[in-house]
Amino acid sequence: MTDPLPPSLAANPRLDGWLDFSARGLVTVRPGKVEYGQGVWTALAQIAAEELDVRLDQVRIAPVSTATSPDEGVTSGSRSIEDSGGALHWVCAQARAALLAAAAARLETAPATLSVRGGEVRTAAGGTGLSYWSVPGQPGRAAAPGAAAKPPARWSVAGRSVPRIDLPDKVTGRPRFLHDLVLPGMLFGRVVRPPAVDATLVEVPDLGHPPGTAAQVRSGDFLAVIAETDRAAVAAAARLARAARWTVRDSLPDERDLKGFLLAAPAQAQPVVQRRDRAAAGRVTRQLAAEFSRPFIAHASVAPSCAVARWDGDAVTVWSHSQGIFALRGALATGLGLDPARVTVHHVEGAGVYGHNAADDAAADAVLLAREVPGRPVRVLWSRADELGWGPVGPAMLARLSAGLDAAGRIQVWRQDVWSNGFIGRPGTGGEPRLLALSHLAGAAPIPPALDGPPSGAMGATRNAVPGYDIPDLGVTRHRLLAMPIRTSSLRSLGAFLNVFAIESFMDELAAAAGADPVAFRLAHLTDPRARRVIEEVAGLAGWATRPRGTGGTGWGLGYARYKGVAGYCAAVAEVAADTAIHLRRLWLAVDVGRVINPDGVINQVEGGAVQSASWALREQVRFDRARITSVTWDSYPILRFTEVPRVAVRIVAAPGQPETGAGELAQGPVAGAIGNAVADAVGVRVRDLPLTTEQVTRAIEEA
């Protein structure tokens, strides 16, 4: 029996769409997944080198473009190694098999007597002069089932830590980011955003053409300038912002009452899981209930979003650091009434994005401005304030949990209700462009509320809303908000961050009620051996059994989840110290992500996810008044700094026989749970509302 083609390959079956041998001695691989610092191109190069039997330094990764790359959808959800990597295993194995078959025919021998090294075909006696570069027609054919990828036991390039192929440029300052792109004749645009989410531009004087200014652009509430230099554009935009008159209306909820907003907003309730067990429910002798919440959280990339666009006749070319260039192309075409074939989007690396940030919006800005100056490229760079104030954010959430224990301290019943705006607001979702500038044009409608995927699909607020423990009677309901006063979309790990924080906090509360140790209590509700293994490993790594107890001011906590319920396993232990503030000292993590292509790449992603999750859990909340986002600087939107980050230890639990699962997002939930439990251990009071700032801890102590 042969496996079906991987989905990315089935959608893009021509092998020469993925591989190019036109440069002698080199292999160019064309993935449809983009690099934004997660190291995916290095891992894909390892897979290609492994299956083709070429050296890693013979592999080049082609820039991703709608003109030349396979459409692999959005680079998100920790799916690149599974999707793109899964396709490349097949493509490269098939190319290698085709090379060997062709060489065997020429040499009048059996393929099994031949091998490939460095891309050259060899016999036991030595080289044959045949290679990927000398045998014509490699690999111009369609993928077919039956290609035999190497078993991991035979890997020599994949499965080992190799240095990232993109880092040498980044330590020497060589131009590599979109922000560094300079095109001939390029102009510079800056957009003047409204002073509030709901605002109407009443009047704006035409400031004419101050020195260096090429154009002033207005349509409806979209206001911008184009200039010969970026500094002239910045100056002109500032003058325009001072001169423009707007009508401003309040439209945002009260940031001090996010729960009230979440519960009062119109919402659609849908069951996620309904598994009733009357016998189990009858065994309940003790019930607990609690509510957990998170605020709106910003992506807060260190680089403001950037884009370049150029119109040539009725065709437009866009350079963007979007995670989904094919969706962006479609959204631009839909929004502007263009033939998608006339829109080309080239991906150029930006900084880390961590979900759907303003990258796509910047591309729409550039397209609109470039239309004013046909034939000339226009670059748009967002300001820091716009990046923090106008990009989509991760939604505020509320999780209401209740559970029943039996007399022996086992969980018999669990209920979980989750309120949230949708997480799916990327360009093109639901047929809507969902691009900020287009929603400000004359006559345009606001961006509609974000979607959230099917309730059972773990594609939004429901991600990890279903506890992964053995519980007989289980009911989980999603309440998707149908009004979106603050624009929301995907943020790394989607609903898993709050859901796992809530579930793992509640598990500790239930363990305490049952008089059980947190590790033992979890293991008593887990039969999956891979789940048990990561918990046992992290407990050992951290020294859980011998942790200091009752030392006053120090606390330890555990968190666990299997990401999406079906992907990678992660368990985390946190150690905090509490005095006038919460200090996160150390994190230990154990992960099982199936087969691993680049172990150091996995550890880097897990470390980074853990630190970012800690920053969300301890510091971060989007601030706003009734009209606008107010946390628009690094002072008002603080993230964890060098003097505040914990030491992090990561252990990979080997599972070479299991499919790869991705590693970029699985730490977010367990780390939040571990920190929450460590804080409760340290201060003796459960803090259920994120972030775990001094103010929230103090409030929880006062209310206890």
Q: Which residues contact other proteins by CB under 8 A?
A: 36-39, 163-164, 166-177, 179-180, 182, 229-231, 300-304, 349-352, 354, 381, 383-384, 600, 604-605, 607-612, 615, 633-635, 639, 641-643, 645, 647-648
Q: Cβ 176 to other proteins, closest distance in Å?
A: 8
Nearer to other proteins, 89 or 179 (CB): 179
Report the nearest approach of other proteins to the CB of residue 229 (Å): 6
Kindly provide the b/e burial profile for residues 625-658, where b requires at least 16 CB atoms within 10 angstroms of the residue's own CB: ebbbbbbbeeeebbbbeeebbbebbbbbbebeee
Between β-strands 19-20 and 397-405, what pairing exists: parallel, antiparallel or unpaired? unpaired
Type of residue numbered 592: D
- Please name the residue that has the structure tokens 């992964």: 468
Minimum distance from residue 40 beta carbon to other proteins (Å): 11
> Which one, 145 or 163, has the nearer CB to other proteins?
163
d(CA 87, CA 358): 29
**Residue 51 Cβ, how far from other proteins at the closest point, in Å?**
24
Say which residues have a Cβ less than 8 Å from residue 24's Cβ, sequence separation at least 6.
133
Q: Do the Cβ atoms of 60 and 26 come closer than 8 Å? A: yes
Residue 302 or 442: the one with the smaller Cβ distance to other proteins is 302
**Closer residue to other proteins (CB): 83 or 349:** 349
**DSSP codes of every residue in 2-67:** -PPPPHHHHHS-BGGGTEE--STT-EEE--SSPPSSS-HHHHHHHHHHHHHT--GGGEEEPPPBTT
Q: How far is the CB of 187 from other proteins (least distance, A)?
A: 13
Decide: 588 and 541 in contact? Cβ < 8 Å: yes
- Report, in Å, the least distance between residue 13 CB and other proteins: 32
What phi, psi does 340 have (nearest 5°)? -55, -30
d(CA 514, CA 406): 9
Helices 694-703 and 668-683, interaxial angle, to 10°?
50
Q: 354 or 419: whose CB is closer to other proteins? A: 354
Nearer to other proteins, 397 or 603 (CB): 603
Residue with smaller CB distance to other proteins, 230 or 406: 230
Closer to other proteins by CB, 199 or 648: give it: 648
Of 464 and 612, the one with the shorter C-beta distance to other proteins is 612
Q: Minimum distance between the CB of residue 36 and other proteins, rounded to whole angstroms?
A: 6
List Cβ neighbours of 151 (8 Å cut-off, separation of 6 or more): none
The smaller minimum CB distance to other proteins, of residues 301 and 488, is found at 301
Written as one letter, the residue type at 703 is: E
* Bridge partner list, 287: 404
C-alpha distance across the termini of the chain, in Å: 61
CA distance 649 to 514: 30
Min dist CB 663 to other proteins, Å, is 12
How many other C-beta atoms can be found within 10 angstroms of the C-beta atom of residue 581? 12
Do you find a cis peptide bond into 599, omega within 30 degrees of 0? no
Which residue, 480 or 651, is less far from other proteins as judged by CB? 651
CA distance 29 to 21: 9
Rounded-to-integer distance, Cα 403 and Cα 512, Å: 13
Smallest gap from residue 575 Cβ to other proteins (A): 15
CB 593 within 8 A of CB 602: yes
Closest distance of CB 271 from other proteins, Å: 36
Task: Judge contact between 201 and 194, C-beta under 8 A.
Answer: yes
* Least distance in angstroms from the C-beta of 692 to other proteins: 18
**Contact indicator for 485, 252 with CB cutoff of 8 Å:** yes
Q: Is 290 helix (H, G, I), strand (E, B) or coil?
A: strand
Contact yes or no for 99/121 (Cβ under 8 A) = yes
Give min distance, CB of 302 to other proteins, in A.
5
Based on C-alpha coordinates, what's the Rg of the chain? 27
Q: Which is nearer to other proteins, 418 or 602 (CB)?
A: 602
Least distance CB 81 / other proteins (angstroms): 16
- The answer for residues whose C-beta is within 8 angstroms of residue 209's C-beta and 6 or more apart is 215
Please report how close the Cβ of residue 349 comes to other proteins at its closest, in angstroms.
8
C-alpha torsion angle, residues 37, 486, 501, 399 (rounded to 10): -150
Query: According to DSSP H, which parts of 184-310 are helical?
Result: 230-243, 258-264, 278-282
CA 340, CA 548: separation in Å to the nearest integer? Answer: 62
Nearer to other proteins by C-beta: 47 or 632?
A: 632
472 token code pair? 């007989």
Closer residue to other proteins, CB minimum distance, 140 or 168: 168
Strands (E) in 497-609, as ranges, are: 554-562, 569-578, 582-592
Q: How far is the CB of 476 from other proteins (least distance, A)?
A: 30
**Closer residue to other proteins in complex, CB, 303/364:** 303
